C-alpha cells in the first residue's frame, strides 16, 4: 500500500500544498488502491478514473499558477450513489435507475468540486438508502474490511468501507435513520450526521424528505470536520436549508484534540444505558470510553428520555410514508428503466411491470407500509400518531439539553454481523438503528467515533448535540479520539 493512501485527508492536503506530492500523484495512488482491493470489498459501483485524474490536474495547474485553493484541494473523495453527479452514473443502488447519468450536480457535489476535492467515483448502498447492511443493494453487497464475511453497515456501507479500506480518505454519506453513523461504527471509521437542514438535499435522491441528511465519512474527527465545513451551508435551492452560518466544527475539533473537556457535561441516556438488546462487549467498550472522557475532565450526568423507546416504531411509519410518496416518480415514463412498453400495453401496465422489475424486496415492503399508513381511514391512527411521538422525542431532547452539553450512547447495539443473519427478519435488521433514529426524528446532529473493539470488531461511540450546535459533538469526539486512538483494519493484501 502506498504511503499516500495511509495519510489522513488533513495530511494529504498539507503534502499537496507543500509540493511534496501532486494532486495527480495522490489521486493515482488511490485509484491503484481501488484496483488492488475493491474486488474484495466492493465499495464502489462506479469508478470515474478519467474524471478524477482530470480534476486532479486542474488542481495542480491552479496551484502552479499561484491561485488560492481550499483546505481540501486535491484530496480524493468517494460519493454515495444517491447524490447526483453530472454525466456520471447515479443509481441509488437500484435497477430502476441503472445507467442513468444525471444532467446536473447535487449541491453537495457542486461544493466538493468548487473546493477542489477529487471525486473518485460512486459508492455502493442499500437500494434508495433503505437498509442497515448494504445487503439490499441491487448490485450486490459491500464487504466489511474488518471481516469480509460481515456487513459494513448501511445504508451507506460503501462509503464507510471505502474509507476503512484506504480506497479514499474521505467519503460522502447520507443519514436518514443512522446511515452514516451506523456504518462508521461497524467499520471503525468516523461518521457524522449534521443538523437537518445544515447540508443541502438538492440533488439528493429522496427517501424520506424530513429526515435525509448528507454528511461526512472519514478516518479521523478532524478530517470529518474539514469535509463538513466544505459541504455545509445554506442553499436557496433547498427549501429546508437553514439560513445560518456553518457551526465552527473545524475549530471545535482542533480544540478537542487537546484532550481537555473540563466543564463539559455529557448526558448518559438511562434508557440506552440499560443495554437492552445490546451486546455485552459493545456496552463494555462504551463504558470504557466514558471512563476515558471523565479522565479528560468531562462530567457524566444521567438524563432520562422516556419517549426514545418509541422512536423505532415512529420512524418506521414516518420514513416509509414519505418514501411511498417520493418513489412514485419512478414510473418508467420520465427516466430510468422501462419494461413492457411494446405498444400494446397501457401506461398502468408498463408502470406496474417497471416497478416490479426495478424495485427490490425491501423497497417494495416500505412502499407498501407507507401507502397503508397514509391511506384513508388510517392516516390519523398511524402517520399522525407517529408525528406526535416525534414531537415528544424532540421535547425529550430539548429537556435533556437544558441539563447537559451533549448526549452519549453506543452508536449501534451490536458489532458487524455476518451476511444473511438478519435478512430473514426485518425487525432484527431495523434494530441496528435503535440508538441512532432518535437524533433523526429530532433533527439534531450526531457523530460516531470508534471507541474500541468487541470480539475483534469495531464499536462506535455516539455523541448527539442540539440543533446547529454541531461543533459541540466534534469537540467531544476529537477528545475521545485523542484518548483512545484510531483503529486499523486487517490487511486486505494477499
Q: What is the pLDDT of residue 47?
A: 98
How far apart CA 204 and CA 81 sit, in angstroms, is: 9
Q: What is the mean pLDDT of residues 139-158?
A: 97
CATH code where residue 149 lies: 3.90.1300.10
Q: What is the mean pLDDT of residues 30-43?
A: 98
DSSP H helices in 263-378:
270-273, 280-295, 311-326, 347-358, 361-374
Residue 346 among the catalytic residues: no
Q: What is the mean pLDDT of residues 17-26?
A: 97
For residue 457, is it within any domain?
Answer: no
Point out the catalytic residue in the list 132, 133, 155, 448.
155
Tens of pLDDT, residues 187-230 = 999 999 999 999 999 999 999 999 999 999 999 999 999 999 99
For residue 439, is it within any domain?
Answer: no
How far apart CA 101 and CA 333 sit, in angstroms, is: 16
Task: Name the average pLDDT for the chain.
Answer: 96
Q: Are 411 and 185 in contact (CB under 8 A)?
A: yes
From 186, 79, 92, select the one nearest 143 (Cα to Cα): 186
C-alpha cell at 127: 437500494
Q: How many domains, the chain?
A: 1
DSSP 360-416: -HHHHHHHHHHHHHHSTTTTIIIIIHHHHHHHHHHHHHHHHHTT-SEEEEESSSS-P
Q: Are 31 and 88 in contact (CB under 8 A)?
A: no
**pLDDT > 70: what percent of the chain?**
99
For residue 313, is it within any domain?
Answer: no
For the ranges 280-284, 322-326, 426-430, the lowest mean pLDDT is seen at 426-430
**pLDDT > 90: what percent of the chain?**
92
Instruction: Please state, as a whole number, how many other Cβ atoms lie within 10 Å of the Cβ of residue 376.
Output: 5
- Read off the pTM: 0.96
Q: What is the pLDDT of residue 1?
A: 61
Q: What is the pLDDT of residue 494?
A: 65
Residue 40 among the catalytic residues: no
Whether residue 36 has pLDDT greater than 90: yes
Residue 80 among the catalytic residues: yes
Q: What is the pLDDT of residue 161?
A: 98
Point out the catalytic residue in the list 80, 94, 122, 200.
80
How far apart CA 360 and CA 95 sit, in angstroms, is: 8
Q: What is the pLDDT of residue 424?
A: 86
For residue 307, is it within any domain?
Answer: no
How far apart CA 171 and CA 159 sit, in angstroms, is: 6
Q: What is the mean pLDDT of residues 66-71?
A: 94
For residue 135, is it within any domain?
Answer: yes
Domain region containing 46: 4-258
Point out the catalytic residue in the list 94, 106, 132, 179.
179
Q: Which pLDDT band, with edges at 50, 70 and 90, does 4 fall under?
A: very high
How far apart CA 475 and CA 148 sit, in angstroms, is: 33
For residue 452, is it within any domain?
Answer: no
For residue 317, is it within any domain?
Answer: no
For residue 366, is it within any domain?
Answer: no
Amino acid at each position: 500500500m502506498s504511503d499516500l493512501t495511509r495519510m489522513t485527508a488533513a495530511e494529504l492536503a498539507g503534502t499537496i500544498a507543500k509540493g511534496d506530492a501532486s494532486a495527480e500523484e495522490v489521486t493515482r495512488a488511490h485509484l491503484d488502491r481501488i484496483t488492488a482491493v475493491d474486488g474484495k470489498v466492493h465499495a464502489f459501483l462506479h469508478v470515474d478514473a478519467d474524471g478524477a485524474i482530470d480534476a486532479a490536474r486542474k488542481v495542480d495547474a491552479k496551484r502552479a499558477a499561484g491561485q488560492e485553493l481550499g483546505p481540501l484541494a486535491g484530496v480524493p473523495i468517494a460519493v454515495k450513489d444517491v447524490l447526483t453527479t453530472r454525466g456520471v452514473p447515479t443509481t441509488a443502488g437500484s435497477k430502476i435507475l441503472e445507467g442513468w447519468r444525471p444532467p446536473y450536480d447535487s449541491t453537495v457535489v457542486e461544493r466538493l468540486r468548487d473546493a477542489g476535492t477529487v471525486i473518485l467515483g460512486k459508492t455502493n448502498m442499500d437500494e434508495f438508502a433503505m437498509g442497515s447492511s448494504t445487503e439490499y443493494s441491487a448490485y450486490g453487497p459491500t464487504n466489511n474490511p474488518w471481516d469480509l464475511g460481515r456487513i459494513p453497515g448501511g445504508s451507506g456501507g460503501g462509503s464507510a468501507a471505502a474509507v476503512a479500506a484506504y480506497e479514499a480518505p474521505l467519503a460522502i454519506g447520507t443519514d436518514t435513520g443512522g446511515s452514516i453513523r451506523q456504518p462508521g461504527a461497524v467499520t471503525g471509521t468516523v461518521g457524522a450526521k449534521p443538523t437537518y437542514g445544515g447540508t443541502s438535499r438538492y440533488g439528493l435522491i429522496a427517501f424520506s424528505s424530513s429526515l435525509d441528511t448528507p454528511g461526512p465519512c472519514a478516518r479521523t474527527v478532524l478530517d470529518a470536520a474539514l469535509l463538513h465545513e466544505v459541504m455545509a451551508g445554506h442553499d436557496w435551492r433547498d427549501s429546508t436549508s437553514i439560513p445560518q452560518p456553518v457551526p465552527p466544527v473545524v475549530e471545535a475539533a482542533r480544540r478537542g484534540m487537546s484532550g481537555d473537556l473540563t466543564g463539559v457535561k455529557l448526558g448518559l441516556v438511562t434508557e440506552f444505558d440499560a443495554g437492552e438488546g445490546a451486546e455485552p462487549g459493545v456496552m463494555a467498550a462504551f463504558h470504557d470510553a466514558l471512563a476515558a472522557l471523565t479522565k479528560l475532565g468531562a462530567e457524566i450526568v444521567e438524563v432520562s428520555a422516556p419517549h426514545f423507546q418509541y422512536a423505532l416504531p415512529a420512524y418506521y411509519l414516518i420514513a416509509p410514508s414519505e418514501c411511498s410518496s417520493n418513489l412514485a416518480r419512478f414510473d418508467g415514463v420520465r427516466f430510468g428503466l422501462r419494461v413492457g412498453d411494446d405498444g400494446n400495453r397501457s401506461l398502468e401496465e408498463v408502470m406496474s411491470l417497471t416497478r416490479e422489475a426495478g424495485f427490490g424486496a425491501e423497497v417494495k415492503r416500505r412502499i407498501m407500509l407507507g401507502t397503508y399508513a397514509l391511506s384513508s381511514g388510517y392516516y390519523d391512527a398511524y402517520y399522525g400518531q407517529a408525528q406526535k411521538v416525534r414531537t415528544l422525542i424532540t421535547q425529550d431532547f430539548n429537556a435533556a439539553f437544558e441539563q447537559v452539553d451533549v448526549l452519549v450512547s453506543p452508536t449501534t447495539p451490536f458489532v458487524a454481523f455476518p451476511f444473511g443473519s438478519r435478512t430473514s427478519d426485518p425487525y432484527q435488521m431495523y434494530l441496528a438503528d435503535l440508538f441512532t433514529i432518535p437524533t433523526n426524528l429530532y433533527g439534531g446532529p450526531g457523530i460516531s467515533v470508534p471507541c474500541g473493539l468487541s470480539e475483534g470488531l469495531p464499536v462506535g461511540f455516539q455523541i448527539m448535540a442540539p440543533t446547529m450546535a454541531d461543533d459541540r459533538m466534534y469537540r467531544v469526539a476529537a477528545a475521545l479520539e485523542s484518548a483512545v486512538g484510531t483503529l486499523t483494519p486487517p490487511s486486505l493484501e494477499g
